[in-house]
Amino acid sequence: MNVDEGNCSRFAACPIADGGTSSAAWLDWLAGHPALDFSTCSSLTVVAAHPDDETYGFGGAAAALRARGVEVRWVSVTDGGGAFPDWSPARRTALEATRRGEVRRAAHALGIDDVIELGLPDGELESHEGALSESLVDLLTDRPPGSWCAATWRGDGHPDHEAVGRAAAAACDRTSVRLLEYPIWMWHWAQPGDVAVPWSRMQRVAVDASARAGKVAAAGQFHSQTTKPVDGEAILPPHVVNRLMTVGEVVFV
């Protein structure tokens, strides 16, 4: 089985309201996996399908690298306006502006000044994968030796996350940049030992208290995703946020 194949059907079959796999189950499973070595990274580009993916998936690592003086750039592929598909165009435009502000404040909390917004349509990235890959090639070309690109895992289960992962993998194949893939929704639909996950390539991100505190502050900026709108449910309910913050960060290398 190709463990980098898509898992959208797995995610769709596991409703967010049902809770998903517990943090405790993941913490027991992760304990024996090796830690990621930060010492070889000369610059980092973090690619996120939606504003907040970069924070929840790799924010602690980004903070740790900035503390070492490493250049870190965030790339928001979409503005996240499709989070509530039934909203009117006017509400969607307002949400996009809100989410752009949130991701910039989150970046600032981690000491990151370089936030790049590509403005591709939320929920439609599969149709723009080639263009996204070309944009990432442009961004990654001429990066210094030892540069990394961290992107959402191409098997994460969300169509946009998977499209970003595939586009980043293709771009890294064409440049000298090392690819790392971080999961977001895998923690929800997968189980420890799941055959759909490339465990042999997984490494844990171990960070100090300062980086963890920075991630907490950054994650706290995304009110549009964690607060219930007047006519719906929060995109990220408390159990999802708590799990993301509790299990920490991992990458597939």
- For the chain, the farthest-separated pair of C-alpha atoms sits apart, in whole angstroms, at 49
Which pLDDT band holds residue 2 (cuts at 50, 70, 90)?
low
Region 21-44 average pLDDT: 94
Distances (CA, A) of 199 to 29, 141, 164, 202, 214: 10, 30, 20, 5, 28
* Sheet-wide strand order for 178-182: 114-120, 71-78, 43-48, 147-152, 178-182, 249-252, 202-205
Q: What is the pLDDT of residue 209?
A: 96
Q: Domain ranges in the chain?
A: 8-252
Rounded Cα–Cα distance for residues 65 and 110 (Å): 10
Region 160-186 average pLDDT: 98
Which pLDDT band holds residue 14 (cuts at 50, 70, 90)?
very high
Region 54-83 average pLDDT: 97
Decide the pairing of beta strands 71-78 and 43-48. parallel
Chain-wide mean pLDDT for the chain?
95
Region 43-57 average pLDDT: 98
8-252: CATH number = 3.40.50.10320
The first and second tokens of residue 56, run together, are 């929840």
Looking at the predicted structure, is the pLDDT value of residue 237 above 70?
Answer: yes
Rounded Cα–Cα distance for residues 194 and 3 (Å): 10
Which pLDDT band holds residue 1 (cuts at 50, 70, 90)?
very low
Region 117-132 average pLDDT: 97
Q: Where are the alpha helices (DSSP H) in the chain?
A: 8-12, 23-30, 53-67, 89-109, 129-140, 159-173, 186-189, 209-219, 223-226, 238-247
DSSP state of 35: B
- 177-221 pLDDT tens trace: 999 999 999 999 999 999 999 999 999 999 999 999 999 999 999
Q: What is the pLDDT of residue 31?
A: 85
Q: What is the pLDDT of residue 4?
A: 66
Q: Which residue has the tokens 């165009």?
A: 89
Residues of the chain above pLDDT 90, percent: 93
Region 153-171 average pLDDT: 98
Please, are residues 238 and 227 in contact by the beta-carbon 8 Å criterion?
Answer: no
Rg of the chain in Å (alpha carbons): 17
